[in-house]
Every structure is written in structure tokens, then in C-alpha cells.
A = this chain, B = another copy of it.
Amino acid sequence: MEQQNPNIKPYVIGLDLGGTNSVFGIVDARGEIKATTAIKTGGYEKVGDYVKASVEALQPVIEQVGGIEKIKAMGIGAPNGNYYNGTIEFAPNLPWAHDGVVPLAKLFSDALGIPVALTNDANAAAIGEMVYGVARGMKNFIVITLGTGVGSGIVVNGQLLYGHDGFAGELGHVTMVRGEEGRACGCGRTGCLECYCSATGVARTARELLSKTNRPSLLREMDPDKITSLDVSIAAGKGDELAKEIYEFTGKMLGEACADFAAFSSPEAFIFFGGMVKAGELIMKPIREAYEAHVLKIFKGKAQFLVSGLDGASAAVLGASAVGWEI
């Protein structure tokens, strides 16, 4: 009878470090989450306290899978994460990292005694898709995350594109509307893809259309300042023409942006990830149509447009854990 090799380390820890919650999962090589725990991200002034609280929360789940000696590594997906340095840099929403460079990978590695790798959340999503999701077997693809912002993880030749400084793949900040009519972006510039195609961008488009026209819409029953992309999606699902037009506008801009991205890295697939993807064909159809209408002839009909294959709730943890397997 075969004995399990006591030296095999069958698990990695994945940490999805979000602005509100930090979710930890212990994941096996098949992408099965064996145990999870979580803490509040923002409840700590100093990063040392955050790491200490994390390790305390992790202890029981680590014991549950046989102790730290069963764990190969840890992967972290975090906003403003730099893979090369293992740091989080000037992350506006993290109280312990908003005004400096925090060596989070090293701090966790020292505390747990295992290797730790860190990358930004969209890159973690891309690695997650490659290891566990719809990009298995693909060597050239782009993951676009549509959430509060627009993020991206770009894979070329089977490797994540980090660029010279570790910050490559900021496709939410390519300029889509040049000149003065571009919307102001949180990055301090104007006209970025993110201002139009994030969840907040969709809400902004809704407010613009409602105030500029007198067209009837279910959305007029709401306080304009409280409209979310989900409200627009629900109204569109009920046949609301204005709401449908908002998604068409959003998808069209994403499709045109993807046509430019194809000229850059000619991926075999664009994979969409995040809350807004729940709108389904409402957003995917105009993306595909605008892409095929705008892309250079040699690329026409070649790229697939896919929705993330990872379960929403656990996708970010799986993506982060996949970074650990890559060590």
C-alpha cells in the first residue's frame, strides 16, 4: 500500500487582500479550497498588527490541514501589489499602506516560515484563470477585471507581463477619450477606460444620460446619486431602453479598447472578471461586436471573449493561491 510522502507539501495559502476584507484560503493543487478564514483589512493602524492578526486567524486552519509543514507557500493578491519587490505601494484604501511601501511578502514569510509571493489583484486573477480557470492551456490572453475600477492581467508566452518595474498591465488607464471632453479619473488624468467601463463608470454614464435627456427610464425612480451598475443591469433586464443603451455604450468602449490591445499582444482570448460580468450578454455582446468592427483585419475572428470560469466568491482566493504555486 502506498504511503503518503511526508515531505510532500500539498497546499498553498491564498490571500485575497481587499479594501474591506482579507480572505484566506488553504488550497490544493486542483484548486479545491480546503479551509478558509478572514479578518477585516482596515482594523489595524500598523502592518505588523495586521500580519499578527492574520497569522492568529490562520493558525487553526493551518492545523486543520496538518500543520505548516504541509504548506508549500503563500500567494497574495493585493491592490498596488508589486511582484518584483513583494511590496504594496501607496495603496489609497489600506490604512497601513496608504503612504508608503510595505514589504508584505517578507513580513508574512518571516511570520510563517514559508515562501510568500505577492502581486496585484488583477494579475492574481489572470494566474488563477491560467491555473484553474478558462485560460488553462493558453499562453497569450488578457484578463480584464470590471469592478469598482478596471484592472488587467496580461499573459504573454505563458508568463505574466510585469514589465520593467513590476507595474505593467494597467489597462484601465489607457486613454479612450482624448482632450477636454474626457471624464476626470481617480488617477488624476482624464479619459481613462476606467472612467467609463468600471461599475462606477456605468453609474456615471447613467447619471449623465438621465440629466442630459428627458427619456423615460425605470432609473428615474431612483436617487441619481445612489444608482449602481447593478441597478442599471436590473433595469435593462426589465427591457428599459435607456439602461440597455448604457450597457451598449460601455461594451462598445471595452470592445474598441480590446481592439487596441490586440494590436499590442494579439491574445487568443479576452477574459472578463468581476461583478459587472454578471450582466452577461448585456455587456459581452456589444464588446464582441465593437471588437470585430474595430480590430485590425489580420486579427478579425481570432480572439475568444470569455467570462471568468472561477466561482465569484472564491475566485480571488484561488487566484492569489495560484501565485503561491508559481514560486
Contact = CB atoms under 8 A, between A and B. Distances in A.
The interface residues of chain A, by DSSP majority, are classed as loop
A163 B267 contact: yes
Q: What interface size band does chain A fall in?
A: 35 or more
Interface string A158-200: 0101111111111101111110000000011100000000000
A192 to B, nearest CB: 9
A266 B164 contact: yes
Nearest to A266: B163
Interface in A211-260: 256, 259-260
A255 to B, nearest CB: 12
Interface stretch (A45-53, A104-112, A297-305): A297-305
Contacts of A256: 175, 178
A324 B280 CA distance: 47
A140 interface: yes
B296 A165 contact: no
Nearest to A174: B260
A20 interface: no
Given A164-B139, A168-B264, A178-B256, A189 B302 contact: no
Interface string A118-159: 000000000000000000000110000000000000101101
A28 interface: no
A301 to B, nearest CB: 11
A189 B265 contact: no
A40 interface: no
A296 B164 contact: no
A265 B163 contact: yes
A327 interface: no
Contacts of A55: none
B167 A264 contact: no
B174 A266 contact: no
A169 B298 CA distance: 12
A182 to B, nearest CB: 11
A285 interface: no
B139 A189 contact: no
A140 B165 CA distance: 9
Interface string A287-325: 000000010111100110000000000000000000000
A164 B267 contact: yes
A163 B175 contact: no
A268 interface: yes
Contacts of A178: 176-177, 256
17 contacts: A89-B298, A156-B168, A157-B157, A157-B159, A161-B264, A163-B265, A163-B266, A164-B303, A165-B298, A165-B299, A167-B266, A167-B298, A175-B256, A175-B294, A178-B256, A187-B296, A264-B265
Interface of A: 89, 139-140, 154, 156-157, 159, 161-171, 173-178, 187-189, 256, 259-261, 263-268, 294, 296-299, 302-303
